[in-house]
Amino acid sequence: MQADNRASIKESLLVVDDNEINRAVLVGTFQDEYNIIEAENGKEALDILLQEKNSISAILLDIVMPVMDGFAFLEEFRKRSLTGVIPVFLITADTSERNMYRGYQLGVMDIIEKPIVPYFVKRRVNSIIELFRARKSLSQTVRHQHGQIMEKDEEINKLNYALIETLSTAIELRSGESGSHVKRLSRLTRFLLLELREICPDQIKVTDEEIEQIAAAAIMHDVGKIAISDAILNKPGKLTAEEFEIMKTHTIKGCEILSLVPNYQDNVLYRYAYDICRHHHERWDGGGYPDGLKGDEITIWSQVVSIADVFDALTSERVYKKAFPVDTAVDMIYSGQCGKFNPFLLKAFEEVLKKYDYAAQK
C-alpha cells in the first residue's frame, strides 16, 4: 500500500540553467515523470535546495551561468554535505576533458552533453535516481532494524539484570539479610569507581560502561553462599575455626556456579563476576582469602567490592551482630580491624561518604 502511495506522489527534479530554451528542453523531457522546479543560477538553486532538500530527487545543472556558476554551486553543495545524497548531472555544451574532470571531482554522477537526446538522458538520469532511491531505502531499513535490535538488546539486558538480582537477593535472604544489601553494594561500587577514576585517572582507566558492568557483576559476589549450609550461614554466634574454613569456600563455590552457567563465559559480565566472586575477601596486605593475593595482584574492582561489602555489613544488622553506626564502621575500616585496604581506595571511600549521605540511603 505504501509503495503505491509513494508512486502517486511525483518526485521533484531541480533544473538549473540561465537560458529559458535550455530549461524548456529539460522540462519537456521530464515533466511527465517529475515535478520540475526551475532555477536560473546556482544561487537560486541553492536557496530552493535548502528549503526542499527532501523532495528533490536529482539536480540537472548547467555550468556557465551568471551570479553563481555550476562549479561554484557544486562547491557549496559539497560544503553542505549534500554530495552523495542528491545526484547531480552536469548538462553542458562544453564537454572538454578539463571540465569533465572538474565535474566528476566535485561529485557529479554523470555529465550529459548538449544538445541532449531525450531518450538517453531519461535513461541515464532515471537509473541513477533509482540507485539513490534503493540505497536510501536500504539504509533506512538497516537503521530501523538496528533500532529494533538495540531495543531487544536493552530488554534482554534488563531481564538479565533482574534475574541476577532476584537470584542474589534470594541467597541473601537465606542468610537472614535484609534483601537490599546487594543493591546498596552495587551503588556503592559504582560511586567508588567514579571517585577513584577522578582521584587517580592515570591508574584507574575504566569507562562509564565498564563501571556499569562492574556494578552489575558486584551483585553476584556472594552467589557461592548457596552452597553453604544453613547451620553455618545462620549461626547466631561466632563461627568455629572449622566452620569459618567452610564459610570461606563461598568464594570458590561462587566461581564454580558461574562457570556452570551455559554460555555465560561469553558475557561481558562474566569476567568481572568471576573475579569478584573469588577475590572480594582478599586484602591489600595479603591477609585475605582464598588466594592471599597482595596489593595490585587484586583487581581494582574486587578491591572496591570488598570495601563496599565490609562497610555495608558493618552498618547492617546480621544474625551474629547488631548494626554499627556509620562513624564506628568508618573507624573500624580505617583502623584495619577488617583488614588492610589500598590507601587510594580509602581516600576515595572517604570522599564518597562525604558526597553521598550513605546513612540516609538505608
Partner 1 sequence: MNLEEVAKALAIDLDASVARFAGNRTLYARFLKKFPDDQSMTQLQTAIEQKDSQALERSAHTLKGVCANLGLSRLADLASAVVSAVRNGDADSLYADTGLLNDCRKEYDRVCKLITELQ
Residues acting as catalytic residues: 225
Among 27-35, 131-139, 192-200, 348-356, which window interacts with partner 1 (CB under 8 A)? 27-35
Nearest to 275 by CA among 287, 292, 258: 258
3-class secondary structure, 324? coil
Query: Which whole-number Å values give the CA distances from 173 to 219, 236, 328, 341, 353, in the listed order?
Result: 14, 15, 25, 28, 26
The identity of residue 296, as a single letter, is D
Minimum Å gap between C-beta 154 and partner 1 is 55
| CB distance 41 to 66 below 8 Å | yes
Taking the C-alpha atoms of residue 266 and residue 243, their distance in angstroms, rounded to an integer, is 35
Told to check if 72 binds partner 1 by CB under 8 A, we report no
Told to check if 29 binds partner 1 by CB under 8 A, we report yes
Told to check if 28 binds partner 1 by CB under 8 A, we report yes
Minimum Å gap between C-beta 61 and partner 1 is 13
| Dihedral sign for Cα atoms in the order 220, 226, 231, 232 | negative
Size of the site for partner 1 (CB under 8 A): 23
- The binding track of 249-268 with respect to partner 1, each residue x by CB under 8 A or -, is --------------------
Told to check if 287 binds partner 1 by CB under 8 A, we report no
Q: Which is nearer to partner 1, 20 or 256 (CB)?
A: 20
Among 29-37, 129-137, 170-178, 339-347, which window interacts with partner 1 (CB under 8 A)? 29-37
* CA torsion angle 96 100 106 112 (round to 10): 110
Among 20-28, 216-224, 317-325, 331-339, which window interacts with partner 1 (CB under 8 A)? 20-28
Among 112-120, 124-132, 163-171, 333-341, which window interacts with partner 1 (CB under 8 A)? 112-120
Among 14, 25, 82, 269, binds partner 1 (CB under 8 A): 25
Q: Which is nearer to partner 1, 15 or 193 (CB)?
A: 15
Told to check if 118 binds partner 1 by CB under 8 A, we report yes
Angle at 182 between CA 176 and CA 183, to 5 degrees: 125
Taking the C-alpha atoms of residue 112 and residue 124, their distance in angstroms, rounded to an integer, is 9
Told to check if 95 binds partner 1 by CB under 8 A, we report no
Among 10, 11, 18, 326, binds partner 1 (CB under 8 A): 18
Told to check if 342 binds partner 1 by CB under 8 A, we report no
DSSP state, residue 182: H
- The alpha helices in the chain, defined as continuous H runs, are 2-8, 20-30, 42-52, 70-79, 97-105, 118-174, 181-199, 208-218, 230-233, 241-248, 250-260, 268-279, 300-314, 326-334, 343-355
Q: Which is nearer to partner 1, 111 or 304 (CB)?
A: 111
Site of interaction with partner 1 (CB under 8 A) = 18-22, 24-25, 28-29, 31-32, 62, 64, 92-94, 96, 114-119
